Structure 1
Amino acid sequence: MELPTGVADENNKYCRLRKSIYGLKQASRACYGMLDGTFRSFRLNRLKNEPCIYFLWKKHNFLTVDVYVDDLLILSNNESSKNELKTALCERFKMKDLVKVHWCIGIRIM
């Protein structure tokens, strides 16, 4: 890396490149780490044999979040807990709710 024009090279100083991680190999790992921390803060547990599925059992309520690339599929038998999680995720991340799922990983959902 070269110093920008107009900056004098005094005492062999170096510039630190502050570059966005987006597009680099580590981007997906950083994104997954952020998602994992967020889900754990909501007390969601990750399946041991499938790191893309998070779940929460509360008495008779079941909630699961399935992560597929950059999509989240939220399933629950309780509408209020599902909406509560969606609201919290929308506050934390820039996302949109596609409401009803028709297809997921090649499976038609009716």
Structure 2
Amino acid sequence: MAITLPLSNIGGRYFAMFLMTLGTYCAFNCNASHFFTPYMFPSSDSPRYRSGGIALAVFCVGTMCTALSIKFVLKKLNKKMRDLDENDEEYTGVLEGIPRGYVFST
């Protein structure tokens, strides 16, 4: 959003900066942001820093896709465990070792 707005739209760009900070936290989890930040925001890209903004947007989308994937996988496992519990069958495969009645939080 910040890279598509004109420089004269101060309010929109200010709001976009808040959204961009959310994308940086996916890299902080592995404490590696200090390695790539200088290369993604070179002073030659000033004042828009397109490459850095695009990279942060890609991280945000990747994080979102990963979270949604995990949610659907866990919902599928919950359904499988519920079906096995109703039929009084043993957990096998990836469910082996999980106690009966356990539910993954989705």
**TM-score scaled by length of structure 1:** 0.26
The structure whose residues are more often strand, as a share, is 1
Per chain length, whose mean CA-contact separation is higher, i.e. which structure has more relative contact order (CA < 8 Å, sep 6+)?
2
